[in-house]
Protein backbone atom coordinates (compact mmCIF):
# COMPACT_ATOMS: atom_id res chain seq x y z
CA UNK A 1 0.00 0.00 0.00
CA UNK A 2 1.29 3.42 -0.91
CA UNK A 3 1.19 6.75 0.84
CA UNK A 4 1.63 10.45 0.30
CA UNK A 5 3.78 12.62 2.51
CA UNK A 6 3.18 16.38 2.45
CA UNK A 7 5.81 18.70 3.84
CA UNK A 8 7.29 22.21 3.81
CA UNK A 9 10.85 22.64 2.55
CA UNK A 10 13.16 24.59 0.33
CA UNK A 11 13.90 22.99 -3.05
CA UNK A 12 17.17 21.48 -1.81
CA UNK A 13 15.58 20.22 1.41
CA UNK A 14 12.75 18.66 -0.61
CA UNK A 15 15.20 16.76 -2.80
CA UNK A 16 17.03 15.52 0.30
CA UNK A 17 13.75 14.39 1.91
CA UNK A 18 12.70 12.67 -1.33
CA UNK A 19 15.96 10.70 -1.34
CA UNK A 20 15.34 9.70 2.30
CA UNK A 21 11.79 8.60 1.49
CA UNK A 22 13.00 6.58 -1.49
CA UNK A 23 15.30 4.73 0.92
CA UNK A 24 12.31 3.94 3.17
CA UNK A 25 12.67 6.70 5.76
CA UNK A 26 10.19 6.94 8.63
CA UNK A 27 7.61 9.73 8.68
CA UNK A 28 8.84 13.15 9.70
CA UNK A 29 7.12 14.84 12.62
CA UNK A 30 6.98 18.04 10.55
CA UNK A 31 5.04 16.39 7.73
CA UNK A 32 1.65 14.83 7.11
CA UNK A 33 1.85 11.22 5.96
CA UNK A 34 -1.39 9.74 4.70
CA UNK A 35 -1.49 6.02 4.02
CA UNK A 36 -3.49 4.67 1.12
CA UNK A 37 -3.56 7.79 -1.07
CA UNK A 38 -1.49 9.13 -3.94
CA UNK A 39 -0.80 12.52 -5.46
CA UNK A 40 -4.14 12.24 -7.28
CA UNK A 41 -6.08 12.41 -4.02
CA UNK A 42 -3.99 15.40 -2.92
CA UNK A 43 -4.99 17.16 -6.16
CA UNK A 44 -8.63 16.32 -5.37
CA UNK A 45 -8.17 18.01 -1.98
CA UNK A 46 -6.82 21.09 -3.74
CA UNK A 47 -9.82 21.24 -6.05
CA UNK A 48 -12.23 20.92 -3.12
CA UNK A 49 -10.38 23.60 -1.14
CA UNK A 50 -10.39 25.96 -4.12
CA UNK A 51 -14.12 25.52 -4.60
CA UNK A 52 -14.78 26.06 -0.88
CA UNK A 53 -12.92 29.39 -0.81
CA UNK A 54 -14.42 30.51 -4.12
CA UNK A 55 -11.20 30.07 -6.07
CA UNK A 56 -12.20 27.21 -8.35
CA UNK A 57 -10.70 26.99 -11.79
CA UNK A 58 -7.15 27.78 -10.69
CA UNK A 59 -4.26 25.41 -11.37
CA UNK A 60 -4.36 22.74 -8.68
CA UNK A 61 -2.25 20.20 -10.55
CA UNK A 62 0.89 19.05 -8.75
CA UNK A 63 4.05 19.47 -10.83
CA UNK A 64 7.26 17.48 -11.05
CA UNK A 65 9.99 19.33 -9.18
CA UNK A 66 13.20 17.72 -10.37
CA UNK A 67 14.28 14.81 -12.56
CA UNK A 68 16.11 13.40 -9.53
CA UNK A 69 12.78 12.13 -8.17
CA UNK A 70 9.63 11.52 -10.18
CA UNK A 71 7.77 10.87 -6.90
CA UNK A 72 8.42 14.42 -5.62
CA UNK A 73 5.84 16.98 -6.68
CA UNK A 74 5.40 20.65 -5.96
CA UNK A 75 2.11 22.16 -4.83
CA UNK A 76 1.17 25.19 -6.98
CA UNK A 77 0.79 28.57 -5.24
CA UNK A 78 -2.97 28.73 -5.91
CA UNK A 79 -3.48 25.45 -4.10
CA UNK A 80 -1.27 26.56 -1.20
CA UNK A 81 -3.40 29.72 -0.84
CA UNK A 82 -6.69 27.81 -0.99
CA UNK A 83 -5.53 25.29 1.61
CA UNK A 84 -4.24 28.01 3.94
CA UNK A 85 -7.51 29.92 3.61
CA UNK A 86 -9.44 26.92 4.95
CA UNK A 87 -8.18 27.84 8.42
CA UNK A 88 -9.81 31.26 8.47
CA UNK A 89 -12.34 31.34 5.63
CA UNK A 90 -15.78 32.41 6.71
CA UNK A 91 -18.78 31.46 4.65
CA UNK A 92 -22.16 33.06 4.84
CA UNK A 93 -23.84 31.14 7.60
CA UNK A 94 -22.47 28.79 10.20
CA UNK A 95 -20.81 26.23 7.90
CA UNK A 96 -17.45 24.83 9.01
CA UNK A 97 -15.63 25.21 5.69
CA UNK A 98 -12.65 23.06 6.64
CA UNK A 99 -14.97 20.32 7.94
CA UNK A 100 -17.09 20.48 4.83
CA UNK A 101 -14.03 20.08 2.59
CA UNK A 102 -12.85 17.15 4.72
CA UNK A 103 -16.23 15.41 4.46
CA UNK A 104 -16.31 15.83 0.68
CA UNK A 105 -12.72 14.60 0.39
CA UNK A 106 -13.42 11.51 2.52
CA UNK A 107 -16.46 10.77 0.33
CA UNK A 108 -14.33 10.55 -2.85
CA UNK A 109 -14.03 7.10 -4.43
CA UNK A 110 -11.76 4.63 -2.65
CA UNK A 111 -10.65 6.97 0.14
CA UNK A 112 -9.12 4.84 2.93
CA UNK A 113 -10.45 6.98 5.79
CA UNK A 114 -13.63 8.61 7.02
CA UNK A 115 -14.64 12.22 7.61
CA UNK A 116 -13.17 12.42 11.14
CA UNK A 117 -9.68 11.37 10.02
CA UNK A 118 -10.02 13.51 6.89
CA UNK A 119 -10.70 16.59 9.01
CA UNK A 120 -7.49 16.01 10.99
CA UNK A 121 -5.49 15.51 7.78
CA UNK A 122 -6.98 18.59 6.11
CA UNK A 123 -6.33 20.74 9.18
CA UNK A 124 -2.68 19.62 9.32
CA UNK A 125 -2.17 20.20 5.58
CA UNK A 126 -3.81 23.63 5.89
CA UNK A 127 -1.39 24.49 8.71
CA UNK A 128 1.53 23.48 6.50
CA UNK A 129 0.14 25.66 3.70
CA UNK A 130 -0.11 28.62 6.08
CA UNK A 131 3.50 28.00 7.07
CA UNK A 132 4.51 28.25 3.40
CA UNK A 133 2.59 31.49 2.94
CA UNK A 134 4.58 33.02 5.81
CA UNK A 135 7.97 31.79 4.53
CA UNK A 136 10.20 33.33 1.92
CA UNK A 137 11.88 30.44 0.14
CA UNK A 138 9.91 27.38 1.18
CA UNK A 139 7.30 25.51 -0.76
CA UNK A 140 4.77 22.77 -0.11
CA UNK A 141 5.77 19.39 -1.50
CA UNK A 142 4.14 16.00 -1.95
CA UNK A 143 6.08 12.78 -2.16
CA UNK A 144 3.91 9.90 -3.25
CA UNK A 145 4.38 6.24 -3.92
CA UNK A 146 1.69 3.75 -4.90
Count of domains forming the chain: 1
pLDDT tens digit string along 32-87? 999 999 999 999 999 999 999 988 888 899 999 999 899 999 999 999 999 999 99
**Own/partner pairs, 86-94, CB within 8 angstroms, 24+ separation:** 86/49, 86/52, 86/53, 86/122, 86/126, 87/123, 87/126, 87/127, 87/130, 89/52, 89/53, 91/52
Domain with 21, as residue range(s), is: 3-145
Q: How much is the pLDDT for 28?
A: 87
* Order of strands, sheet of 32-35, starting from the edge strand that comes earlier in the sequence: 32-35, 3-9, 139-145, 69-74, 63-66
Using CA atoms, how far apart are residues 130 and 83, in angstroms rounded to an integer? Answer: 8
Average pLDDT of the residues of the chain: 93
Q: How much is the pLDDT for 91?
A: 63
Amino acid sequence: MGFAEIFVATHDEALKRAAELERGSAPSTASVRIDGISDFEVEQLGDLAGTAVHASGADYELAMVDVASDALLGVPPAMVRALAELLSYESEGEEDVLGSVAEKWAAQDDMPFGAKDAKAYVARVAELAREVENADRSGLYVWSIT
